Amino acid sequence: MPKINVKFSGVEQLILEVKAFYLSPIDRSRMTRAAVATFYKIEEKMFKSQGGQNPWQPLSAKYKKQKNKLGYGNMPIMQMTGALKAALTGKDKKNLLQQKTSDGVDLYLISDYWHNHQHGSTVPKRRTVEFTEKDQDMIIKSMLQATIGGRFARYFA
């Protein structure tokens, strides 16, 4: 019977590095910072695209008129004052609080109108936080990179 002999180079070194990595403590704060920074990038794209995969519905004629009277006529949807976007993209840290948990971080937005838009109540539903599978992958990848850094990158090239 024919024999196929496959040899892998660097396997022993990889095994030693993986063992060493798993025996060392994991810095969860680096993971959290990376995840939050990626969240901010995702939110920046959400505002730029006006809703991502689920575009926000246009403003009603009545609301456009009211917005113009208040001097916010040129501002994009969900950015009348810019406060919500600033909080969700990390530019205003006072209105988005972070609380570390055992398995990540909770973000608290100091805004009632965000909740109303996110879930739809007295205002149209316009979700500003809605993760796609690609977004979730980006967050996980950023956490892995923050945790293991470039340590194993050469094995995945």
State yes or no: pLDDT of 1 exceeds 70.
Answer: no
3-state secondary structure (DSSP) of residue 105: strand
Global pTM? Answer: 0.75
Q: pLDDT per residue over 75-100, tens digit each?
A: 888 888 888 899 999 998 888 888 88
> Max Cα separation, the chain?
85
State yes or no: pLDDT of 42 exceeds 90.
Answer: yes
Q: Cβ neighbours of residue 88 under 8 Å, at least 6 residues apart?
A: 40, 43, 46, 47, 96, 109, 128, 129
